[in-house]
Amino acid sequence: MNGEPDLYIGGSWRHAGDGATRDIINPADGSLAARVDEATPHDARDAVTAARRVFDDGSWAATPVAERAALLDRVADLLVRDREELSLLETRDTGKTLAESRIDMDDITSVFRYYARLIAVQADRLVDVGDPSIISRVVREPVGVCVLIAPWNYPLLQMSWKVAPALAAGCTMVVKPSEVTPLSTIAFTRLLEEAGVPAGVVNLVQGSGATLGNALTDTAEVDFISFTGGVATGRTIAQVAAKHVTKVALELGGKNPHLVFADIGTAAGWDSAVDHVLTGVFLHSGQVCSAGTRLIIEESIADDFVADLAARAAKIRVGDGMDPASETGPLVSEQHRGKVESYVALGISEGATLVCGGARPSDPVLAKGSYYLPTIFDRCDRSMRIVTEETFGPILTVERFTDESEAIRLGNDTQYGLAAGVRTSDAGRGERVVRALRHGTVWLNDFGYYTAAAEWGGFGKSGNGRELGPTGLAEYQETKHIWHNVAPQKAGWFKG
Ligand code: TXE
């Protein structure tokens, strides 16, 4: 970063093989946030080979779990120490508010602590085969060399969901952050080195996915690819991986419904529902894979609810994430703002009713950044691409229903299935609806929360595999059944 080497391969820091660099832009004002090394495919292949070599020598996988757990705890301690520095980098790189970056860092710390605890207590499973001379047990072993590819919306958070269980399991890995937002991952890799991660266990390359993708994925040296990003890239990675029958886990975003029933009841219930719908979609300017971008609301309350939402949305303070007064920051890049603007134009042309937003902020102070106003489209339906496609921006669409079954049908009528929210004061209805929704996470009378101990991932085109929780560790492990006969006899099948 800024002259220091940024690629970490086989335990050494180095510049890109061809000396290339990339300018990282601060989306809050278009300024240069940092200049970083841009890896070549050759660098990426070196990183994979380094990870392979270290995995194959067996020493890391053979490290006692107590030592690996202690290492994860040391990483967590250093994350606490460097919380502010990492948060500032994350905000400068992504544009998200500093308050959000600090929450990210706390969450990352808890992910490392969680996997330190989980790996320390994970036990082999004994299987009773009904024969006292047979010891049958199922053990867990590291899956091998992992390629971990993260996106730009939660750069270090998404990466930590992969790195922590991979380290806990005893894997080696190549880490590739998004080329748009590599800064926190570079700093984090230095932190891993300081914590004592052995050379070659974690290798870092950054650069364009299109350029490095094949070197990282089209190879038999890799055992597992964990990817978070867009559907198109996920599909490409899965296709390339299939050539080598490489295991793949994909988290590919969502188009997440938030179902609001008329029985939300009291004034407090109403205010809480408005507040959660608002936060669920406009936090981080909608650049959240689980953002509640589709409000699906009971017809009888829709007009009043949308009016309240629009009034609140218009008051959201959009601004530089470094300014404590800002409630949400810019979009991650000019290019991404262009995509969001094209979706707004599409929504208008498709006949949706623009209720608020639909423009850049007029404040001249924000003119140099990639800002966009919270935007609501009412009177939407499933024929509109604005309702079916992930815009990944601050855009809420509103659809209306008249009964519970229609609400469920609309909530499930998506190619994705990452997350959904339900608001009702009727507990029975709440339980019925959450069970009927085909999404990886469903919040009932809440929205957006997660914990390191519970699985995260999607149904449908939101991907496959799970992160976090025990399953998030199992992804990085192979199971092996060991059948040990302590009193061998003849097999006795062939008589000759
Ligand atoms: O993501 P990409 P993009 C969605 C969101 C967004 C869209 C596209 O809708 O508008 O995806 O975003 C690396 N082989 N999400 O284009 O390309 C790339 O370098 C290997 C949802 O920015 O999927 C980066 O590190 N890697 C999402 C990572 O893939 C490749 C979060 C993600 O980039 C590659 C972000 C290749 N061929 C966007 N091509 C979520 N699930 O939360 C690219 N990459």
Q: Element (H or E) spanning 21, and its range?
A: strand 21-26
Q: 223-248: buried (b, 16+ CB within 10 Å) or exposed (e) per residue?
A: bbbbbbbbbebbebbbebbeeeebbb
Q: How many A from CA of 216 to the centre of ligand 1?
A: 15
Positions in the chain whose pLDDT score sits under 50: none
H or E segment to which residue 271 belongs = helix 267-282
- Identify the residue whose C-alpha is closest to ligand 1 atom 24: 178
Residue 438 has a pLDDT of: 98
Is residue 208 a part of any domain in this protein?
yes
Q: Looking at residue 496, what is its pLDDT?
A: 87
451 domain residue, yes or no: no
Ligand 1 atom 20, closest CA: 213
CA of 126 to the centre of ligand 1 (A): 41
Name the residue at shortest CA distance from atom 31 of ligand 1.
229
Could you tell me the distance, in angstroms and rounded to a whole number, from the CA of residue 420 to the centre of ligand 1?
A: 22
Q: Is any atom of ligand 1 closer than 6 Å to the C-beta of 179?
A: yes
Are 152 and 63 in a shared domain? yes
Q: Ligand 1 centre and the CA of 158: distance in Å?
A: 12
Could you list the residue range(s) of the whole structural domain that residue 27 is in? 7-252+466-482
Q: Establish whether residue 237 lines the binding site of ligand 1, counting it when its CB lies within 6 angstroms of any ligand atom.
A: yes
CATH number, domain of 475, equals: 3.40.605.10
Q: Clarify whether residues 192 and 115 are in a common domain.
A: yes
Pocket residue to mutate for ligand 1, from 93, 94, 149, most atoms within 8 A of Cβ: 149
Read off the tokens for 48: 């994979």
Q: Tokens 């601050």 map to which residue?
A: 394
Domain membership flag for residue 492: no
Residue 21 lies in a domain: yes
Name the one residue in this structure whose structure tokens are 């959201």: 316
- Dist. CA 82 → ligand 1 center (Å): 27
Closest CA to 97 of 311, 387, 326: 326
Do 287 and 194 fall within a single domain? no
Query: Which atom of ligand 1 is least distant from the CA of 178?
Result: 25
CA of 24 to the centre of ligand 1 (A): 17
Shared-domain flag, residues 285 and 228: no
Question: Strand pairing partners for 167?
Answer: none
Tell how far the Cα of 232 is from the centroid of ligand 1, in angstroms. 8
Verify that 189 and 321 share a domain, yes or no.
no
Q: In this structure, are 402 and 416 located in the same domain?
A: yes
Determine the atom of ligand 1 nearest the C-alpha atom of 151: 32
Task: Kindly state if the Cβ of 463 falls inside 6 Å of ligand 1.
Answer: no
Q: Is residue 383 part of a domain?
A: yes
Is 251's C-beta closer than 6 angstroms to any atom of ligand 1? yes
In a domain, 2, yes or no: no
User: How far is residue 435 from each of residues 226, 248, 293, 413, 427, measured CA to CA in Å?
Assistant: 28, 27, 21, 15, 12
pLDDT, position 265: 78
Residues 262 and 248 in one domain: no
Residue 423 falls within a domain, yes or no? yes
> Is 261 found in the same domain as 245?
no
Which positions are catalytic?
Answer: 251, 289
The per-residue pLDDT for 1 is 82
* pLDDT recorded at residue 267: 79
pLDDT of residue 182: 98
- Counted domains in the chain: 2
What pLDDT digit, counting tens, does each position of 245-280 carry? 999 999 998 999 999 999 997 878 999 999 999 999
Cβ neighbours, 10 Å, residue 206:
30
Whether residue 184 contacts residue 86, with contact meaning beta carbons closer than 8 Å, is answered with yes
401 CB near ligand 1 (under 6 Å): no
Q: Is the CB of 236 under 6 A from ligand 1?
A: yes
Minimum-distance ligand 1 atom for the alpha carbon of 236:
37
- Residue 203 counted as domain residue: yes
Q: What is the CATH number of the domain that holds 302?
A: 3.40.309.10
155 Cα to the center of ligand 1, angstroms: 11
Same domain, 53 and 189: yes
**Ligand 1 binding pocket includes 253 (Cβ within 6 Å):** yes
184 & 291 share domain: no
Q: Could you tell me if 387 and 380 are in contact, meaning their C-beta atoms sit under 8 angstroms apart?
A: yes
Residue 289 in contact with ligand 1 by CB distance below 6 A: yes
**What is the structure's pLDDT at 419?**
98
Residue 70 CA to ligand 1 center (angstroms) comes to 33
- Among 181, 231, 233, 341, the mutation site with the greatest number of ligand 1 atoms within 8 A of its Cβ is 233
Whether residue 248 has its Cβ less than 6 Å from ligand 1: no
The model's pLDDT over 105-117, given as tens digits with 9 standing for 90+, comes to 999 999 999 999 9
Read off the pTM: 0.96
235 lines ligand 1 (CB under 6 A): no
- Measuring from atom 4 of ligand 1, which residue has the nearest CA? 230
269, 279, 375, 379, 400 from 305: Cα distances, Å: 12, 15, 15, 13, 11
What pLDDT does 417 receive?
98
Same domain, 313 and 212: no
Q: Are 155 and 185 in contact (CB under 8 A)?
A: yes
**What string of DSSP letters covers 65-109?**
HHHHHHHHHHHHHHHHHTHHHHHHHHHHHH---HHHHHHHHHHHH
Atom of ligand 1 nearest to the CA of 391: 9
Do 191 and 248 belong to one domain? Answer: yes
- Cβ of 178 closer than 6 Å to ligand 1, yes or no, is yes
Q: List the residue whose alpha carbon is closest to atom 10 of ligand 1.
A: 392
CA-nearest residue, atom 13 of ligand 1: 209
> Which residue has the least CA distance to atom 39 on ligand 1?
209
